[in-house]
Structure 1
Amino acid sequence: MAHRFQCRCGKLQGEIAQPAPVLRAVCYCRDCQAYAHLLGEPQRVLDAQGGTDIVAMQSNNVRLTAGQEWLACLSLSPRGLLRWYAGCCRTPIANTPRDWKLPYAGMVHSCLERPQPIETSFPAVQLQVNTGSAHGPVPRVGKLAGMARLARLMLRLLAARARGAYRQTPFFDATGAPVVEVKVAEREAVAQAKRAVGA
């Protein structure tokens, strides 16, 4: 059964095919923290230590079912990750590489908690990354097991790329171009957001 997701106001909706091999991780990097501040209301996205809960998966498992016109994309630099969000209420949706042939989507917990709880479809946190940028001690999870799961996910992504599964994505069109214009955040805005998180 698919896991349904939606933005905070419910205009943008979608689903994730199940069962989908995933890796659930918390990222504490300064870019993820700055991004949450750029969208506003970072307290809805970041945990107490500045982490973003992300469910990593193949992008071909993701489908938008309503409100595609609200999909927006921001990047913190001209070559940075593509960070997809709902333009209607600025809910983070997913992070993807710029190269569509790497069929990865890091789905942000903010859209996965409604209309059904994230725990109904996905495991507990399996890996923490960039903990050096955390704002305090973080509860440790099995690092070796998490890295092994990450390696398995990367192998699946490479296999999906070889099969051409990257073409099945809601984030890129048939030519490999993003489905919406990518807005690159102004350098000063990014710097200000990073100052807000203590970077």
Structure 2
Amino acid sequence: MHVELRCRCGQLRGEVDNAHPYGHARCYCRDCRAYARFLGADDVLDAQGGTAIVAVPPDAIRFTTGDARLACLSLSDRGLLRWYAGCCKAPIANTARDARIAYVGVIADALEPQDRDAAFGPPRFVLNQASAEGQVPGTPLATAIGGGRIFLRLLAARLRGLRNRAFFDVDGAPLRTPQVVDAPRGA
């Protein structure tokens, strides 16, 4: 099943194949909050400051329209690359800085809701629970299983030589130069 990926204004569109997802989690880290808030996209955060993220291999993503609108920021010189639509500032995904790490954390709100829920279900585990802006039910076993599953899939992708071609060029450079921003990370 292919789930539509789109920015808020619809100028950037694509699709995500759900054939081999790594997992669906809710992240409460300060950096995910800072990313959303810097873009003025507080609506992707839940009441405790968490962001739903669907982790997939990079070959599961294909941009179909408006990929020139894709923009990139980072919260530090070495931090994750945080991809967004430059046209409407919609958060799209997170990647490592290294194209050899075959991981894309798609912001769940960038996916068509009905198809997203059918394809990936609800978030199954939480990450960075201690950084939440309020009480969040823990999922220790689900987090261990989900984290282990992501690690094993990353390892398998590395052994197969899979590279991130959705957000990086053939030489391994990001498709867009990351803008390093100083966004308050707060509590």
Judge same fold: TM > 0.5, yes or no: yes
Residue correspondence of structure 1 range 15-94 to structure 2 within 5 A? 15-42=15-42, 44-94=43-93
Displacement after TM superposition at 1:112 (Å) = 1.0
Aligned to 1:171: 167
Aligned to 1:125: 123
Say if 2:101 and 2:163, in contact at 8 Å, map to a contact too.
yes
Write the deviation string for residues 102-140 of structure 1: whole angstroms up to 9, x where unpaired.
1000000120135x4420211221111111111111134
Consecutive aligned runs of 4 or more in structure 1 exceeding 2 Å deviation? none
Displacement after TM superposition at 1:175 (Å) = 0.0
Where does structure 1 lack aligned partners over 5 or more consecutive residues? none
Aligned to 1:101: 100
Where does structure 2 lack aligned partners over 5 or more consecutive residues? none
Letter in 1 for 2:2: A
Normalised by the size of structure 1, how large is the TM-score? 0.88
Aligned to 1:137: 135
SS, match of residue 25 in structure 1: strand
SS, match of residue 160 in structure 1: helix
Letter in 1 for 2:59: N
1:181 aligns with 2:180: no
Displacement after TM superposition at 1:72 (Å) = 0.3
Displacement after TM superposition at 1:18 (Å) = 2.9
SS, match of residue 163 in structure 2: helix
Write the deviation string for residues 143-172 of structure 1: whole angstroms up to 9, x where unpaired.
2133113212211111112212215x2100
Letter in 1 for 2:180: V
Aligned to 2:8: 8
Query: Residue 146 of structure 2: which of 130, 144, 149 is its match?
Result: 149
Letter in 2 for 1:83: R
Distance 2:128 2:142 in 1: 17
SS, match of residue 56 in structure 2: strand
Distance 2:41 2:149 in 1: 34
Distance 1:12 1:148 in 2: 33
Say if 2:24 and 2:124, in contact at 8 Å, map to a contact too.
yes
Letter in 1 for 2:136: V
Say if 1:95 and 1:105, in contact at 8 Å, map to a contact too.
yes
Distance 1:154 1:22 in 2: 9
Q: Root-mean-square deviation (CA), in Å?
A: 1.5
Deviates more, 1:143-152 or 1:175-184: 143-152
Percentage of identical aligned residues: 50
Say if 1:91 and 1:110, in contact at 8 Å, map to a contact too.
no
Aligned to 2:156: 159
